[in-house]
A and B are shown apart, each in its own frame.
Chain A
Amino acid sequence: MSRLLQVEHVSKIFGGLKAVEDVSMHVEEGELVALIGPNGAGKTTLFNALTGVSPATEGSVTFNGVSLDKKKPYQVAKMGIARTFQNIRLFHQLSVRENLQAAMTHRYKEDFVSSILRLPTFTKKEALVNGWTDEILAKLDLSDVGEMITANLPYGTQRRVEIARAVASDPKLIFLDEPAAGMNPEETADLTDLIRRLQSEFGLTVVLIEHDMSLVMNIAERIYVLEHGKLIAEGTPAEIQNNQAVITAYLGGGIHV
């Protein structure tokens, strides 16, 4: 195992509010790590800082040996970090197939002249891209809805398409921001299976934000707990379940008589 992501002393300050304060964490290649914490703990803010959406105020992030500081989100994505969003952000006027292909634009080149004149090189590239798309659609059970406009799909399927789109950008590391939010138990079970497959079948490293504790405890290999922007605990699911600081954060402190 080698270290894929190294986060050192990252802080994100909005005016007087320290949303994320001095967080250091690491993710090994092939790991499945969860990031949990009460609402407003700064989990999504940390994701945004790591992916360049809103850069960290302090600290440094290294991915695969390369610094991510001052990298724009699309540059971070090209380096191999994909993400999904807490509130689904699909390209809603496009079909599922086009959503996936829009995520592949950095994986191949297509020059202006050959695409305008529809030269053989263009046809070959399009066939290649369609092949990649078919493969991902088949693996994620989305072949049936491939040509549907994503705005018309049910919620659970939209979540799945968003994960498929992240996979389509050919990442090494994938950030999932509350993938089970709003799902019924059945859909959550499917999702659990899907996340496991991302790790085993696609060889991805997964970092997961989630409130559904049964899901987290079920699949995470290691858990980080964030509260009020600070890291309060780190460990295996069993360790976290018995950690006093975590219990206090979620359930409140004991009553001292």
Chain B
Amino acid sequence: MNRKLKRWIMGMALMLTTLNSTAGIAEQVNGSEPEVHNLSLTHHDFEDWTFTLSANDTLAITNKSDVAHSIYITHPDGTVVNLDVHLPGETFTWTIPAAGNYLLQCWIHPIIRAEMTVSP
């Protein structure tokens, strides 16, 4: 099996797992079901996004650059969550635990930085 196909299958499996796990989460405060939002990561930036985030939503981030990234997230209370290393083409997910302001950064490329406000 070639590497691209393997990565695609792994990505799909990850997405399905995420969808499955978020399906069981209780309804959000605003009454809507949790959503999965796709976000792209380039060499030195997150691509612009138009979606709005709510608690329990999931971000599916795809590394569309040809270099590795290592994203970490600073939670509103200062807790830092590492999302490991993401090779080119890989998709990784993060489910937002609660409302507040989050900061997404890359350990390897400090220039990569995105602030996200999450509603309840």
A binds B: no
